[in-house]
């Protein structure tokens, strides 16, 4: 008899809940039905566990499912902010692209590496090439794109030392190509939506490694300065 009364009361409560949901605006009904389904599932699980007809692990999993359902809207709202902070804090690399090279700088170690985008060595990284192959690539860059040649010399100076600093076989680019927002962000290792404070901090960190007075490179230092100026509107 008590079980019958409990069943009737449960069905009556379910009927009242469904009736109230039907009176809600259409846009709110779907979420209300989902919430009701989770409540019913949790109630059934608790009842089965209390009567010994359901293992306690099953009851625990059901409870966790209900908890996830309750916190899911909050997690969805916070996800973009959390992801943005995580990606900015773990990026750790700057990227500079030319028509022939894609160069990356590791913020922690200051180490340069890059990918060849065109020519004989297309698709290979600079660290995979020996000095003879890099000299061949340098000749190709000098013949086709002065910015790429200057960027490659930056890598060669770091990898092989001062032997490449005195080379005058290339002329710096006079095209003065303008940065885009995406290129400026990549140069500083930042994501879209970076704040003024983040731009300044990234610029300061990179200049500590790249400033010519500290053994850095004029070309990359100039690119970093240009990226900061672009993002700050200076």
Q: Is 116 exposed, middle or buried (0-12, 13-18, 19+ CB in 10 A)?
A: buried
CB atoms within 10 A of CB 64: 10
CB 49 within 8 A of CB 56: yes
- State how far the alpha carbon of 37 is from the alpha carbons of 16, 54, 65, 133, in Å: 14, 19, 12, 66
pLDDT at 19: 83
Domain finish residue from 47, 72, 89: 89
Q: Using a pLDDT cut of 70, give the percent of the chain over it.
A: 62
Q: Is the pLDDT of residue 212 over 50?
A: yes
**pLDDT-derived band at 69, boundaries 50, 70, 90:** low
According to DSSP, the residues that pair with 43 across neighbouring strands are: none
- Note whether 25 and 101 are same-domain residues: no
Domain finish residue from 71, 89, 107: 89
Q: What's the total number of domains in the chain?
A: 2
**pLDDT-derived band at 20, boundaries 50, 70, 90:** confident
Domain finish residue from 39, 68, 89: 89
- Note whether 85 and 149 are same-domain residues: no
- Note whether 151 and 43 are same-domain residues: no
Q: Is the pLDDT of residue 90 over 50?
A: no
CATH of the domain at 154: 1.10.287.110
Q: Is the pLDDT of residue 73 over 80?
A: no
- Note whether 58 and 166 are same-domain residues: no
Strand boundaries in the chain, DSSP class E? 93-97, 101-106, 112-116
**pLDDT-derived band at 171, boundaries 50, 70, 90:** very low
- Note whether 169 and 78 are same-domain residues: no
- Note whether 105 and 163 are same-domain residues: yes
3-state secondary structure of 51: coil
pLDDT at 32: 74
Please give the biggest Cα pair distance in the chain.
99
d(CA 21, CA 31): 10
pLDDT at 170: 42
- Note whether 35 and 70 are same-domain residues: yes
- Note whether 106 and 208 are same-domain residues: yes
233: left (phi over 0), alpha (psi -120 to 50) or beta: left
**pLDDT-derived band at 169, boundaries 50, 70, 90:** very low
- State how far the alpha carbon of 42 is from the alpha carbons of 22, 35, 50, 232, in Å: 22, 11, 12, 53
The mean pLDDT value of the chain amounts to 76
Q: What is the pLDDT of residues 35-50, one digit of tens each?
A: 777 777 767 666 666 6
pLDDT at 136: 95
State the sign of the Cα–Cα–Cα–Cα dihedral 14, 19, 21, 22.
Answer: positive
| Position with higher pLDDT, 166 vs 32 | 32
Mean pLDDT for 53-81 is: 58
d(CA 228, CA 222): 10
pLDDT at 71: 62
- Note whether 118 and 50 are same-domain residues: no
Q: Is the pLDDT of residue 77 over 70?
A: no
Q: Which residue has the tokens 């600079």?
A: 126
| Position with higher pLDDT, 82 vs 234 | 234
pLDDT at 162: 67
- Note whether 164 and 153 are same-domain residues: yes
- Note whether 68 and 162 are same-domain residues: no
Cα 171 from chain centroid (whole Å): 36
According to DSSP, the residues that pair with 115 across neighbouring strands are: 102, 125
- State how far the alpha carbon of 211 is from the alpha carbons of 103, 158, 184, 207, 224, in Å: 17, 14, 18, 5, 10
Domain span holding position 156 = 91-232
- Note whether 132 and 159 are same-domain residues: yes
Q: Is the pLDDT of residue 127 over 90?
A: yes
According to DSSP, the residues that pair with 95 across neighbouring strands are: 104
pLDDT at 87: 43
d(CA 56, CA 108): 49
Tokens of 109: 């170690």
């Amino acid at each position: 008899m008590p079980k019958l009364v409990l069943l009737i009361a449960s069905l009556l409560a379910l009927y009242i809940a469904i009736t109230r949901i039907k009176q809600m605006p259409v846009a709110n009904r779907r979420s209300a039905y989902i919430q009701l389904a989770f409540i019913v599932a949790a109630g059934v699980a608790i009842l089965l566990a209390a009567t010994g007809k359901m293992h306690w692990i099953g009851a625990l999993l059901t409870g966790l499912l209900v908890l996830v359902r309750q916190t899911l809207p909050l997690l969805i709202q916070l996800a973009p902010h959390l992801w943005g902070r995580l990606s900015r804090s773990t990026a750790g690399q700057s990227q500079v692209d030319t028509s022939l090279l894609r160069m990356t700088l590791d913020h922690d170690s200051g180490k340069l590496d890059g990918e060849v985008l065109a020519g004989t060595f297309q698709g290979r990284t600079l660290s995979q090439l020996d000095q003879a192959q890099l000299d061949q690539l340098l000749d190709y860059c000098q013949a086709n794109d002065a910015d790429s040649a200057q960027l490659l010399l930056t890598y060669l100076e770091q990898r092989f030392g001062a032997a490449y600093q005195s080379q005058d076989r290339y002329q710096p680019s006079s095209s003065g190509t303008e940065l885009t927002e995406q290129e400026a962000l990549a140069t500083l290792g930042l994501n879209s939506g970076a704040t003024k404070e983040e731009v300044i901090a990234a610029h300061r960190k990179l200049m500590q490694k790249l400033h010519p007075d500290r053994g850095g490179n004029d070309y990359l230092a100039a690119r970093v300065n240009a990226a900061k100026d672009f993002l700050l509107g200076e």
